[in-house]
Structure 1
């Protein structure tokens, strides 16, 4: 059976904020040290210790932002320990991730240098859990204030006369857990306090993001919204924060200590993972609905600043470093998430995959033995979807139902799609989550003719397939000849477990 749909290419939806394609880098395992940062004495090509092939790969994605230094690490990080001469920086213990020593050689200046190399906006998570209001306020001043002030003088003494532009600030992280084990009511007061003293300097206007809910904790979101709005209020006035975060990981194992293998799985585990990934739509829609009650004009943003798969670490690796391989299954998790992001772009303004290098659902893996860099299947989804950044979302209406299959007591929709328009180009993304069966989609295009269609496909022989230094292109995009456009109809063949993008001139 062919899935039939209609796409009105001239009916505008919301803008897909480029920051929905954001990234996350925590001081965790080999994300920073051995991933982004190899040190100034490394034989790997670098600039100031920052690994340049990693930079080039991420620039190719048009990486819009990078969140740092955590994660749980953010609420035990004191920024003054990471400035000044490296040999004078104090050593700390990373109690959250591996109980290993952290030498603080990668600190504020190194992170901002990385963002400048990437062409990405920095998103800094401040320390609310173990820090102070003054500490975070001073950090904002250190980074963003021009002219003469105590923090501006300190920054200049450390080699940077001009301020940076740093808009995005997180007021803590996971305050319900590793960020302080706070109640929602207590954290809401802390967010107001910290947000008050994180001030704008010059023309640098802060966008302050309150530490939001874990999964389906809608009460947390409501508590934060009550602090800045009233039921049915059409206007949010002066506010100590501008957005709320949300964290949701795709976890499918039977317990926290047995989350399943990243590479050794069968069809049942695949479908359970897809079902868990698809739940992100329920959560985004649920939190957005709560926010709508207090902010129907949608002036407060929702930020999914931690998302991705979480499996057991690879055998033989440090259990606290969260290193996992990345398969075609992970790529489909990413593609499903992006379809959800596009559909909810009226409220969802930023998302950050966890994490960029060598941790959880990484874009890039670096091999400590050969120094090779590997692009993962998830990286390729970001690359194929790059054209959606800052595009106009287009709604896809179905004429026939999408295929479904039972997964335990639930039902999984096995085909997903979204579309956008930008600069005279149409981009349609389609995923077939089915492990065995192909699918065919026919989309009637209304309101504009599409020509010069180009199609790419990401698939492989088996869902557990992945890339390694020895075989770096097992799962990589290639041209797809299963796409035609004729008489205003776009026809797409989706092989089993595949992700396809179609672009065309309007």
Structure 2
């Protein structure tokens, strides 16, 4: 925009620039909003394909350097990401998982067919103890998903006792026999997963009755009481959040602290032919952006019914599965859900983070699917090799927003990115005051063809400039490979204020995160 103005002046033309004004981002630093829960940046490790086995778990006897069976390079990369939370063991896998099969000597654990993902043999090498080894190495919180679909209230209650009891009960003593004296800290516990689908094809009404039955028996010590999560809806279905918050009334023997929600971004919006991860046309870039931005309205709609039933906002809305879902990359087993990860995925991540921040009053958790080698992964591995994805880099750029206090933000004069009959706002933004006291701003330019100038106005502070990072590349499908692991990575970004004004040039198809100086 700024390059156009001098050109027109040189031609001696007089023109109103009202329609051509730069995008305006106004932030009021004097009016703190809700805290952005660190668990907005949660991760998901399901027993699915090479998401756990080979991807991050190689076993203690592997030649790949590892600690307690978990490969050191992947754990190190995840620690750099400051992963706040890990969800396990599923997903659809959770509702066929029986926890007793995953304890005791690994060579004596039963082998089962993983009927949900590829029909491969699940040898239960990774069970409760191994999972907690991982989260404790990461310094993360534990989200355990209970088996409602093929389990019983007794099995679920006994698993919690096994994990959390510090007593001399038979189950607590069994845990000690298996090598763990002190209880595991269970921060979150879900009663089933996708009860509307793979978790049992239930109605909200039927699931609500089951939830109340199971939750009544999930008793833990007061100092190790997990937040209880109900299985909620997906996409545009608000009936689950509505029915659960209207009909589960907590009392001394019943709790419900959150309702889950799932939504995946499909370029073509078709589960049969979802779209390619790489070498896609611009039309699929656009459709991906259109579909991922639906997340905002889905959250708005669910918040409306929850606000009606729970005006005090006691129940959280947890988007505990989200991300892109493409057709499987290469010749991999279709059941393994392996896909490449490109700049397009990085843009999707930034757009969703900005949406989640906007709804921080209800959205206290979001969990991308998944951590390693599955769907929109942070990390891809091939035997001893490891590569970080563009999505990984965006997660790392957004670290300052973990636990930050959101700030009111207003966008004006936002240009539209248009292709054919589809159109979306080109620029998305969020702002917060981080724990270090600094104000951070994140900007996403979803237009793959055109840079945008964004004028930043911050009420309450004097701005000298900004510094941070930008992630972008020439190609829409720019991605990292094992042969070229740094094809796309963040670069330094800075800008100085001039005459008290700050304008940022945001490249096409880019994510920018900066701290205000």
Query: Which TM bucket (shorter chain)?
Result: over 0.9
Q: Cα offset for 1:432?
A: 0.5
Quick check: 1:262–1:312 contact (8 Å CA) kept in 2? yes
Name 1:336's counterpart in structure 2. Answer: 351
In structure 2, C-alpha distance between the alignment counterparts of 1:357 and 1:131, rounded to whole Å: 27
Quick check: 1:404–1:411 contact (8 Å CA) kept in 2? yes
Name 1:390's counterpart in structure 2. Answer: 403
Matched, 1:211 2:224: no
Q: Cα offset for 1:374?
A: 0.4
Name 2:385's counterpart in structure 1. Answer: 372
In structure 2, C-alpha distance between the alignment counterparts of 1:63 and 1:75, rounded to whole Å: 25
Deviations 1:439-496 (A, max 9, x none): 0000111101234631211001111110011111111001124x33245433210111
Instruction: Spell out the pairing of 1:271-350 with structure 2 (5 A cutoff).
Output: 271-350=286-365
Name 1:442's counterpart in structure 2. Answer: 455
Deviations 1:310-350 (A, max 9, x none): 00001211110000000000000000000001000000000
Name 2:267's counterpart in structure 1. Answer: 252
Name 2:468's counterpart in structure 1. Answer: 455
In structure 1, C-alpha distance between the alignment counterparts of 2:344 and 2:269, rounded to whole Å: 18
Change (3 A) 1:199 1:254: closer
SS of 2:352's partner is helix
Deviations 1:186-211 (A, max 9, x none): 10011111111111214112200000
Quick check: 1:395–1:419 contact (8 Å CA) kept in 2? yes
Matched, 1:29 2:42: no
Aligned length: 495
Query: Which residue of 185, 190, 195 maps to 1:175?
Result: 195
Segments of 5+ residues of structure 1 without an aligned counterpart are 230-235
Name 1:70's counterpart in structure 2. Answer: 90
Name 1:267's counterpart in structure 2. Answer: 282
Quick check: 2:46–2:93 contact (8 Å CA) kept in 1? yes
Quick check: 2:28–2:459 contact (8 Å CA) kept in 1? yes
SS of 1:456's partner is strand
SS of 2:295's partner is helix
Name 1:99's counterpart in structure 2. Answer: 119
Which entry has the higher C-alpha Rg, 1 or 2? Answer: 2
Name 1:233's counterpart in structure 2. Answer: none
Q: Cα offset for 1:406?
A: 4.1
Name 1:232's counterpart in structure 2. Answer: none
Q: TM-score, normalised by structure 1?
A: 0.96
Name 1:41's counterpart in structure 2. Answer: 61
Q: Cα offset for 1:298?
A: 0.7
- Structural RMSD (CA): 1.3
In structure 2, C-alpha distance between the alignment counterparts of 1:289 and 1:254, rounded to whole Å: 25
Matched, 1:194 2:214: yes
Q: Cα offset for 1:12?
A: 0.3
Q: TM-score, normalised by structure 2?
A: 0.94
In structure 2, C-alpha distance between the alignment counterparts of 1:407 and 1:186, rounded to whole Å: 44
Q: Cα offset for 1:401?
A: 2.5
Q: Cα offset for 1:438?
A: 0.8
Q: Which stretch of the first structure deviates more once superposed, 494-503 or 452-461?
A: 452-461
Q: Cα offset for 1:436?
A: 0.5
In structure 1, C-alpha distance between the alignment counterparts of 2:360 and 2:264, rounded to whole Å: 20
Quick check: 1:446–1:488 contact (8 Å CA) kept in 2? no
Q: Cα offset for 1:253?
A: 2.3
Change (3 A) 1:122 1:254: closer
In structure 2, C-alpha distance between the alignment counterparts of 1:392 and 1:344, rounded to whole Å: 12
Name 2:9's counterpart in structure 1. Answer: none
Quick check: 1:169–1:206 contact (8 Å CA) kept in 2? yes
Instruction: Spell out the pairing of 1:36-185 with structure 2 (5 A cutoff).
Output: 36-185=56-205
